[in-house]
């Protein structure tokens, strides 16, 4: 890869990390899209995206926790089954054309919802424990299969069902992403025995972008702005999946 090509790639990774981290995500779907455009191989893309996810989610978890938005009571039922299922999804390498098409459509519909309903930040009720645990298992499997941390699915679920306020949903999702990205990476490395060397310069860009984005998202941006940004993130992720399909 030429220096100019690498520079363009790292700049794109920085922007993705900033945008995603501002809404409590870590950017895996964006990293996958950017690296796909750069013509990197799937064997490089999936583990690299998970490594970047872990780094950015670590920063985001700390920033949203410090800002007082994290709820352990909301988080742990979703995380309980998600971790082993994310490991399984990361280990598996399945043909997923129809799967990607369906998930992409769901993300685009969620984006439309947040474009049209950005100001509603009320909590109707918290999910029952069985519902949260079962949902977490399904989302963990999706996370591992898609090479993401699952927050791209969890945040819309929490907000559309009105189970959490915007920043609490972001804080919950970013830690969910951290634990599931770690499990997914362990599953992937167990299967491939490979972590690409290209990840180092990309990691520096992701750390810088993630630090700035999570700071603004946790302390500066309003819930309405975060939902608008979330809609943009979902459009990127959904379009990536549907185009891949």
Mean pLDDT for the chain?
87
Residue 94's pLDDT is what? 62
State the pTM of this model. Answer: 0.84
Q: Quote the pLDDT of residue 96.
A: 57
Give rounded-to-5 percent helix, strand, coil for the chain.
80, 0, 20
Q: In this structure, are residues 177 and 191 in contact, taking their beta carbons and an 8 Å threshold?
A: no
Instruction: Note the pLDDT tens digit of each residue in 33-54.
Output: 888 888 888 788 888 988 999 9
Instruction: Give the model's pLDDT for residue 180.
Output: 87
Work out whether the CA dihedral 190, 194, 198, 204 comes out positive or negative.
positive
Mean pLDDT of 10-24: 93
Q: How far apart are CA 149 and CA 129, in angstroms?
A: 21
Domain residue ranges in the chain: 3-244
100 vs 114, 153, 223, CA distance in Å? 21, 13, 29
Across 64-78, 139-153, 222-236, least confident range: 139-153
DSSP letter string, 137-176: HHHHHHHHHHTS-SHHHHHHHHHHTT-S-HHHHHHHHHHH
For 119-174, the pLDDT digits (tens) are 667 788 889 999 999 999 999 888 877 767 888 889 999 998 999 999 999 999 99
């Amino acid at each position: 890869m030429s220096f100019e090509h690498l520079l363009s790639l790292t700049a794109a990774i920085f922007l993705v990390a900033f945008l995603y981290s501002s809404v409590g995500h870590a950017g895996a779907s964006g990293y996958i899209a950017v690296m796909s455009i750069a013509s990197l191989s799937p064997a490089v893309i999936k583990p690299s995206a998970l490594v970047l996810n872990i780094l950015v989610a670590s920063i985001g978890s700390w920033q949203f926790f410090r800002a007082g938005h994290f709820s352990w009571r909301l988080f742990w039922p979703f995380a309980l089954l998600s971790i082993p299922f994310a490991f399984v999804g990361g280990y598996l390498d399945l043909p997923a054309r129809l799967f990607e098409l369906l998930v992409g459509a769901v993300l685009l519909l969620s984006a439309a919802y947040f474009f049209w309903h950005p100001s509603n930040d009320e909590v109707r009720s918290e999910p029952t424990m069985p519902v949260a645990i079962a949902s977490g298992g399904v989302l963990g499997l999706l996370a591992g299969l898609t090479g993401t941390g699952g927050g791209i699915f969890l945040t819309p679920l929490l907000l559309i069902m009105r189970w959490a306020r915007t920043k609490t949903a972001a804080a919950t999702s970013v830690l969910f992403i951290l634990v599931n990205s770690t499990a997914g990476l362990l599953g992937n490395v167990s299967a491939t025995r490979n972590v690409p060397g290209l990840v180092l310069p990309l990691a520096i860009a992701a750390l810088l972008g993630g630090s700035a984005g999570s700071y603004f998202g946790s302390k500066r941006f309003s819930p309405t702005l975060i939902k608008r940004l979330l809609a943009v993130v979902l459009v990127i992720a959904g379009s990536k999946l549907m185009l891949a399909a």
